[in-house]
Amino acid sequence: MLFLISMAAQPAVTVLEGHVNTPAPGDHVVISGYKNFISNELYVLGQGKIDEDGHFKIEFDIDVTTYTQIGICFQYSEFYFEPGAKYRLQIHPSEKHTEGLGSIHVQIIEPDTSLTSEIWKINNHYNNYMVSNISNAYTRISKSKADHLRNILFDEITANGHPYLKDYIEYKIASLELLAKRSSKKKLAGDYIWDKPVLYNNIEYMDFFHALYSRMLISHPALVSPEEVNTTIRDKKSYKALASLIQRSGLTGNAKVTELALLCNLKELYYVPSADQHKIGLFLRELTEQSPYPENREIAASLLKTLTRFSPGKPLPDLWIRDSAGSDVRLSSLPGKPVYLSIIHPERPGSVAELEMMKTIYPELKNRIRFISISIDPDISSAIKLKQDKDFNWDFYSLAHPGEIINKYGINRTPVFIMADADGTFISYPAFSPSEDLAGYLKRILKQ
């Protein structure tokens, strides 16, 4: 008798070495991953300081193929890392004044063929094919065209033996078929979801899953009315009552998929203005404790955290920040009074413009509210230069560890504004920006 033993994947050290073109010594290259593709909770896998010659090295443990962001000062590129692999990259950042979520160009020096380069090739070929053959008219996509594109991708991608890549192509085509509406959702679910593994770590699978099962409890009155959803949330004691509404569609096929679809829909329901957020939170907590599927339990816990971690009354996650003398201090150590935090980049026009507007508000409220600007550039000199050049009179700091702001606050673009009370708990996140009647907002806060 043959016994097949399933061994859990073991973490392995992945090594990334590289060089940054036109580097800013002291900046960090940060590798961020996603805990899952429903909560989209970011966490820092690893980071490395750029030396004076522009070189850096990062080592981190992963146990599966992992979709990540490589970031420098909030400019990013996507990358797929393999457990135990070694990579050598050349990184070309955009100009520093790029606003918001900028992009960096990453050149893969070694290995010659990587999963990332193959996926870049797929996406480029897919986009070109769509432009040439579809002309944005998704309703014209025939099954033969979708099959033709699938064959081209599999034939032309040299690493098509890689299981992640094979699934990536398969579910990219599935998403195309869903957009084309050439098959019913039930048929697509049967073809691509039922009786197949749930590919939690494959971003293309999860994109298709979202598209197939999203908004089932919000905008499908033929399936379930808003009144029935609200009544079920209000009156039922278990998440299983909502799961039964989703199962009614006949799309999910099995209990594991039904539960994962429910997690997608709970996230959407949470942001409906009339939603009972407290009850939805209780359902998520119940899922973390009672789901028979460990992956779904982890997603529920992560989703509960991301939906509620910045709620009013929750404590601000602590940060190491650098003062004008170059000393590292804790954000929590600053003297207690209501605080208005602005997370900025000192060389980006959007950040500077907001601070210029805050300058007119500051004199009236400076004795009642502490204004603090924190630069995402770890070089405190750039923040001090902005403060002096613009005659900003409040406190400026920089991040001592850039990865913390992503990991703890989920911030991947600037500017962001946060209001906290004297005890260091959230009042609002995001808070009003200076361009949104900040003076009126802050005065209302002070009266509460």
- pLDDT tens-digit profile of 368-424? 999 999 998 888 999 999 999 999 999 999 998 877 887 788 887 789 999 999 999
In terms of Cα–Cα distance, which of 89, 66, 63 is closest to 8?
A: 63
326: alpha, beta or left? (left if phi > 0; alpha if psi -120 to 50): left
Helical H runs in 271-321? 277-290, 294-308
| CA–CA dist 83, 63 (Å, integer) | 6
Range(s) within the chain of domains with CATH label 3.40.30.10 = 320-447
CA-to-CA dists, residue 270 to 157, 316, 431, 438, angstroms: 41, 22, 19, 27
Numbered ranges of CATH 2.60.40.1120 in the chain: 12-112
* Cβ atoms of residues 93 and 18 within 8 Å: no
- Indicate the average pLDDT of the chain: 86
Q: E strands within 35-101? A: 42-49, 55-62, 66-72, 75-81, 86-92
The confidence score (pLDDT) of residue 138 equals: 46
Characterize 38-68 residue by residue with b for buried, 16 or more Cβ atoms within 10 angstroms of its Cβ, and e for exposed: bbebbebbbbbebeeebebebebebeebbbb
**Whole-prediction pTM:** 0.78
Report residues of the chain scoring pLDDT below 70: 1-9, 23-25, 94-103, 130-146, 156-160, 220-222, 273
Give 92-143 pLDDT, tens digit per residue.
Answer: 886 543 444 456 889 999 998 889 988 988 888 877 776 666 544 444 556 6
pLDDT at 391: 96
pLDDT at residue 143 in the model = 63
CATH class of residue range 12-112 = mainly beta
270: Cα within 13 Å, side-chain hemisphere? 20
Q: How far apart are the first and last CA of the chain?
A: 73
| The predicted structure's pLDDT at residue 133 | 61
Token pair for residue 257? 């998929």
- Residue 287, Cα to own-chain centre: how many angstroms? 22
Reported CATH class of domain 320-447: alpha beta
Structure confidence by residue, pLDDT tens digits, 326-348: 999 999 998 789 999 999 989 88
The tokens of 268 are what? Answer: 């959407």
